[in-house]
């Protein structure tokens, strides 16, 4: 599998009490079938709310970002996801 696309995604939790590490672990499990997680970072937003920014490395021929997005949104505690950038590497 040639990983030649980097996709940066912001994952927002349902609230300030959401366990971001559980979300991170769920994301890592989902991505294994499509590529791999290159990096992930919990970033403060405001008033104790954090987001999880994840960089996925994917094979552009295999695709899968729509499926990954759909599956990530089903992780308990996830409110929404936003694609921040897509870059060929």
- Better-scored residue on pLDDT, 66 or 43: 43
Which pLDDT score, from 0 to 100, does residue 66 have?
87
pLDDT in tens, 5-63: 999 999 999 999 999 999 999 999 999 888 999 999 999 999 999 999 999 999 888 77
CA geometry: angle 76, 78, 82, nearest 5 deg: 150
Which pLDDT score, from 0 to 100, does residue 13 have?
97
Which pLDDT score, from 0 to 100, does residue 8 have?
97
Tell me, which fold does domain 5-88 have in CATH? Alpha-Beta Plaits (3.30.70)
Side-chain half-sphere exposure of 7, counting CA atoms within 13 A: 23
The domains of the chain are located at 5-88
Tell me which H or E stretch contains 7: strand 5-13
**C-alpha distances in angstroms, 88 versus 2, 5, 33, 60, 85?**
12, 4, 19, 9, 10
Which pLDDT score, from 0 to 100, does residue 60 have?
83
Which pLDDT score, from 0 to 100, does residue 26 have?
96
Which pLDDT score, from 0 to 100, does residue 73 have?
95
């Amino acid at each position: 599998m040639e990983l030649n696309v980097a996709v940066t995604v912001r994952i927002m939790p349902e609230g300030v009490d959401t366990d971001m590490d559980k979300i991170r672990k769920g994301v890592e499990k989902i991505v294994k079938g499509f590529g791999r997680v290159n990096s992930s970072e919990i970033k403060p937003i405001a008033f104790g709310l954090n987001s999880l920014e994840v960089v996925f490395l994917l094979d552009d021929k295999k695709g899968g970002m729509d499926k990954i997005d759909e599956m990530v949104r089903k992780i308990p505690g996830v409110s929404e996801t936003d694609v921040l950038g897509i870059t060929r590497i």
